[in-house]
Amino acid sequence: MNNYPESKLLEISRHFQIYGDLLHAEPCKIGHINETYIATYNQGGVQVRYVHQRINTHVFKDPEALMDNFVRVTSHQRRKLSESGARDASRRTLTVIPTRDNRSYYRNGNGECWRTLVFVDGVRTFEAVETPTQAFEAGKAFGEFQQLLVDLPGKRLAETIPHFHNTRHRFEALQQAIKADHANRASEAKKEIAFALKQEKNVDVILNALAKKKIPERITHNDTKFNNVMLDVVTGKAMCVVDLDTVMPGSALYDFGDMVRTTTSPTLEDELDLAKVQMRMPMFKSLARGYLESAGPFLTKGERALIAFSGKLITFTIGIRFLTDFLSGDTYFRVHRPHHNLDRARTQFKLVESIEKQEAAMQKLADAV
């Protein structure tokens, strides 16, 4: 991430309803997509922090629709939390600071789109789950996130990235990337390509269930990595779910499946030592217990029946996205070393194998919650 000149951040900040003097700003190296800065202001002698974020419009091509989703979702959640008398309601969902002309984002003369959020204090994130208690908190947080949006009024949310978790669409993109081999890398990924193509039998399971109305469409987060949950630094309890750009219509199973991917293995998603990559049942048990505690009341029988399978499918889906990007020359995900996307794909595929070996036991455990 390049350091954005502070003078330019100062100019950006003047377009938002922030009062006080900008003291300093620093880049926040989170996520693969957007550019984020933590800015500290002096407001009447009190230091207050905000988040300034440049939306990646190459990925999110309709920032207006994205921010409409963002504001509708966070406003609804905040209202429901407040009405229920929830403690720390202002720390349990993100708050958008409007521009001076009451818009949700600002587009500067260079065509950059910026938004500003209230900085949530007293929390931290982790790149990987360290304890079953953290897995429980992650599951509970994302389950509650979905639960708060079950009754969101108004029109259907916009799809900020069409076909985001559409595994058939991702599988076809992989097939095209293999055939085109624009970056001349297919020979370096023969084993991974062969593994991916053998998984086609699983590609349409959730898509067919949605199409046949066996499971309902829901409003979902769609990027439920563990580092998208902020935990209170004192209590360790989940406070706030972040990174809401992919909140849109989907399946509850997409969210749970990605939680399995990012919370049950002891490694990061780009682990080089594949011997360390495994689905750990104690983590899954805590994750499922936390998720079903908050999401259980609204999930259908059809959704519950695919709980374990969803972990395998979404891990595979993310794996083929990494593999496709590697074959295409690393055009989507940020990479920090040669073969980074291939390393990521290998890690996902190893986790798919581990989940498959334990899938029946995982489903039995979830059924008992």
Say which amino acid occupies 233.
V
Is 186 contained in some domain?
Answer: yes
Neighbouring-strand partners of residue 53: 36, 115
Kindly state whether residues 264 and 172 are assigned to the same domain: yes
Q: Are residue 48 and residue 167 in the same domain, yes or no? A: no
Whether residues 164 and 290 share a domain: the answer is yes
Determine the Cα–Cα distance for residues 259 and 236; give it in Å rounded to an integer: 18
Q: Are residues 22 and 166 in the same domain?
A: no
Q: Using only C-alpha atoms, what is the Rg of the chain?
A: 21
Give me the phi and psi of 267, to 5 degrees please: -110, 165
pTM, two decimals, is: 0.91
Q: Which two tokens stand for residue 117?
A: 């959020």
Q: Are residues 113 and 194 in the same domain?
A: no
Task: Give residues with Cβ within 8 angstroms of 241, minimum separation 6.
Answer: 93, 141, 142, 145, 221, 228, 229, 230
CA-CA distance, 162 to 304, in Å (whole number)?
25
Classify residue 325: in a domain, yes or no: yes
| Domain span holding position 24 | 6-72+98-118
Residues 104 and 146 in one domain: no
List the CATH number of the domain containing 194: 3.90.1200.10
For residue 3, name the pLDDT band (cuts at 50, 70, 90).
Answer: low
346 and 296 in a common domain? yes
Quick one: tokens of 290?
A: 């936390």
Same domain, yes or no: 146 and 38: no
Residue 185 has pLDDT above 70, yes or no: yes
Query: Does 274 reside within a domain?
Result: yes
Lowest mean pLDDT among 61-70, 119-128, 291-300: 119-128
CB 258 within 8 Å of CB 314: yes
Same domain (yes/no): 153, 26: no
Distance of CA 123 to the CA centre of its chain: 18
Mean pLDDT of 116-125: 95
Is residue 232 situated within a structural domain? yes
Count of structural domains, the chain: 2
**Predicted local confidence at residue 28, as pLDDT:** 81
The answer on 327 and 244 residing in a single domain is yes
Confidence at 7, pLDDT banded by 50, 70, 90: confident
Structure tokens at 68: 């409409």
Same domain, 160 and 188: yes
Say whether both 61 and 157 belong to one domain: no
Q: 275 in a domain, yes or no?
A: yes
Domain assignment present for residue 155? The answer is: yes
